[in-house]
Amino acid sequence: MKTIQGYQTAGVPIYGITVENEPLYDPPTYSGMKMLATEQAAFFANSFGPALTAAHLSPKVMAYDHNWDKPEYPETVLKDPKAYAVAAGTAWHHYGGEPSVMSKNHEEFPQKDQWVTEASGDTKQKGNILAQEATELVAVTRNWAKSYVLWALATDQNRGPHVGGCDICRGLVTIDTSAPEKASVKPEADYYVLGQASKFLLPGAVRIASDEPAGTELKDVAFLNLDGTVVLYTVNAGTTGQDFRIGFHGKTAVTTLPAGAVATFVWKP
């Protein structure tokens, strides 16, 4: 509570909070502990929720904060009536399972939100990383997620500084400090994946329906900004260029997306 209050006193509002990172993982190289779903539900109901109320704090409390492959964890938490009243929804990571579980969670708990709070590219990835990451962004947002957080924000040429945990994870930018007087900054593919969305999506934007062309490797997701502009984020995950048509309210536009490319289209009806 003091941490939240301290940030807010300093003028930094706290949007949301999870009580623990990856509660099903017992980390060998950094601080952490396991917390079973029943334990988290009891903690929300009997300790955390009452403490927030007593402190007059109301951040969005996110259950779970771990991989898509254990959807029964947040389900257990949200099925507890008292924990349900505390939780705003579920936080997910991408290191196991599929984003479609977020839609299943939404169907079961339609009043609760979904967030992807941690995803990272790494040195094991092969092929077109840009298209891979962008395809996941599309899948994440098409399955009800309100966020897609890639980390770390910046790493050095050795993927550090490293204090435990992942030593192969890629930052959004790499800062080469091997020659400190001439340090250089290199934006990685992840930087551009997010930039193709964040540059055009305004605060308060909502996802709207869009079709993905059958029989192609084209992936897309559409949003409506508060100023009325429509944003269409597209990915060609295939190995050849693809012609496609955008249709909206009786008007059409035809274009081509090169193999492995990401493009954002913006228009105002």
**Active-site annotation holds for 118:** yes
The CA distance from 158 to 1, in Å, is: 36
Give the count of beta carbons closer than 10 Å to the beta carbon of residue 169. 16
Task: Compute the distance between CA of residue 13 and CA of residue 171 in angstroms, rounded to an integer.
Answer: 25
Burial of 141 (0-12, 13-18, 19+ CB in 10 A): buried
Task: Reply yes or no on whether 212 is catalytic.
Answer: no
Q: Which of 72, 107, 108, 118 is catalytic?
A: 118
Radius of gyration of the chain (CA): 20
Contacts of 78 (CB under 8 A, 6+ apart): 63, 84, 87, 90, 108, 109, 112
Beta bridge partners of 166: none
Give the Å distances, CA to CA, from 142 to 128, 134, 149, 209, 245: 21, 12, 15, 9, 20
For residues 83 and 62, give the distance between their C-alpha atoms in angstroms, rounded to a whole number. 11
Out of 22, 75, 133, 188, the active site residue is 22
List active site positions. 22, 118
